[in-house]
Amino acid sequence: MPPQSGQPAPQWSPKDQAYMKEYLESHPDNRMAWYLLGKQYERSGEQGKANYCFNQAGDIYKAFENEPLPQETVEEQMKERTEREKRSRTKAAQLRAGLLAILFLLLLVLLPGGEAVAPDGARLNVQRDKGHAPGPHEEISGGTFYRLVAAGDDEGYAHVLRRILEKDRKRAGEDVVVRMESDEAWLIWSRTPEPVLLASTPSEGGPIEMLPLAEPDCRCEEERQAASQGAALWTEASEQRLIAKSALTAYVKQGKAAPDQWPAMAKAYPANSVSGTSAGIEQAYAGVLQVYRNGMARGSKRKRTEQALSQMWADEADPFREPIRIVVDKKRHRLGVVSGGILLRNYEVGLGGSRTPKGKFVISEKVVNPNGSSTGVFGSRGMTLSDTLYAIHGTNEPDSIGRDESLGCIRMLPDDVEELFDMVPIGTEVSIESDVLPGVLRVPDPEDRYRLDLTPQQDNPGKVYRWLD
């Protein structure tokens, strides 16, 4: 964040400038580095050079300055920099120093009037500007706050760093930035994300300590291991909260009042909005319900439910901001479980070619052992789509998975359909499209499958199902 009017600008030492130049010689495509170098030139009155750097920074400049790129470019300086890049490449050992230089300079840019020191070349300590107020959904208590970025998303990483530095901690605490892979339009959810940065405040009102966990030369094996273990627990808890929020959302959108406890939604057929229960999901639901009811108490009477749901999904502590949806890709024979732009599961399925319709549906019914058998043509689970003859169900023909052999329904392998049945509530949106999901499968190992303790009597012996298998 640029210094505000009347505040002194940070001073740049020759060592800082040397780090930046060395870093750019080996990383000429790093837009964040271009932006930071431009800030140096701007503060020293060299506006021509600053404009050139800002043009190279592209979207990073726009994200931080909230204005269009400068129109003026400096051709002579661009040629000089290109020649320097051809003449000299820094050694691989300088990568760590370059990254630390970027962090060091970024902290100064975003903290007007602050001071930063790097006492051992691996950690960065920053004294926070005490005048900052927390954002509307920030966690200001102690503990660990996890923040998710996609691999290769420089702009997203810069935004996360900015949020960390602007956050006001009233107690000691830490932020861990974790990275997951992305594929086309999707961020691929992982139970074992890679921690890339630890930002901690060891004591109340003390400086922030920044530790680049992903750097091979970082002397932080103990912190890296602890962050990895914590991130794995965080992803599991995040999934539980997502499923709890999705179930509550679907339930109240049917005009029902939110139940006091999770098991009230896990009844026998046909009141089986969810399939069962567990200690983890009951605990997650209790926390989610409290946030929802707080919103109901504050919202206007006419739009109370809508406002309470919106508040519940806006919690910055959660990576998921939308209810679970099911997306079916006819081209790749995939069924994805998604929340917003995050892909949690990507199963291989069997379809019916042109007999499988495109469009939007909702899960209107869930049944265990359709037609009284777990080994029949519909397998052990079935989910009707919008009260039609189309359904998502199991199959007794596993060789048909990945092919177009059904009469229109969506076939799944037994373990896949049983996990999906436990994850999604009645009312879940289902979108059947083409060429929208990646080809890579995202299916957990058997021990990591999502499972609930199944509520008894979720079959429907009074009905013969004639889905278009």
- Of the residues 27, 218, 333, 393, only one is catalytic, namely 393
- CA distance to 17, 70, 119, 230, 253, per residue, from 272 (Å): 64, 59, 59, 34, 16
Query: Which of 240, 239, 241, 258 minimizes the C-alpha distance to 308?
Result: 258
Q: Which helix (H) or strand (E) holds 366?
A: strand 359-368
* Residue 194 contacts residue 229 (beta carbons within 8 Å): no
Beta carbons of 422 and 441 less than 8 angstroms apart: no
- Token pair recorded at residue 44: 């020293």
State both tokens at 75: 């051709």
Q: Which of 53, 218, 220, 409 is catalytic?
A: 409
Q: Are 426 and 364 in contact (CB under 8 A)?
A: yes
Which of 248, 229, 247, 249 has the alpha carbon at shortest distance from 146? 229
- Residues 6+ away with beta carbon under 8 Å from 36: 20, 102, 105, 106, 109
Contacts for 44 with CB less than 8 Å, ≥ 6 apart: 12
H helix runs in 73-138, sequence order: 75-87, 95-110
Does 333 participate in catalysis according to the annotation?
A: no
Question: Is 393 a catalytic site residue?
Answer: yes
Please state, in angstroms and rounded to a whole number, the distance separating the CA atoms of residues 113 and 96.
26
Strands (E), 244-341: 276-277, 325-329, 334-339
Instruction: Give CA–CA dist 415/347, Å, rounded.
Output: 10
Active site residues: 393, 409
